[in-house]
Chains A and B, each alone.
Chain A
């Protein structure tokens, strides 16, 4: 069974940093593009970033480019999101999600981890 489990969400002050993790199991992690998406409270879905199988290609939404860094460790079946210079509008539930076909759309999602940016 494919499983993705996020962790690392917390309350952080504006301008602060946070690192999210996503632990994968049940599939060959290193064979897939993996994504971070987010959902602000009561709002819709927003794609944040993705990374290809070996980590050599990374894409970001404009609003986080230069502040967030996506990375992966295939030996540990893990995905990461380093978030710096956090802003109040980064407050959201952050999901990791698998792209099954480099399409990208998302066939398996984690349960999400809440990041709250507030003073």
Chain B
């Protein structure tokens, strides 16, 4: 199975900050990576697919980049609604795997 490792596990930031979350794959996954946001008690919400494509309706302050084994999710100008847990997911192989999550908390 392809292992996905996110860093950091927890990130403290303030409203208005720019933050970056990193996701590393144990082997190349080309650009077959998605990012999700999840709030407590809610289902995940798709933010980014194919590493850098913004899902319809998602604010443009979210962006994704990377290919191969290293990927980033960047959130510009953090809003109060952005404090949540973020997951990356690879879909290069049919053993679909997620990162362990990054909790973004208010500083």
Contact = CB atoms under 8 A, between A and B. Distances in A.
Contacts of B71: none
B contact face: mostly helix, strand, loop, or mixed = loop
Contact of A46 (B32, B43, B45, B98): B98
B100 A109 contact: no
A110 B45 CA distance: 10
Interface string B60-92: 000000000000000000000000000101010
A105 interface: yes
Contacts of A104: 91, 96
A75 to B, nearest CB: 26
Contacts of B89: 45, 105
B94 A44 contact: no
A97 B98 CA distance: 15
Interface string B26-67: 000000101010100011111001100001000000000000
Nearest to B48: A105
Contact of B43 (A47, A59, A61, A112): A112
A107 B55 contact: yes
A47 B97 contact: yes
A38 to B, nearest CB: 11
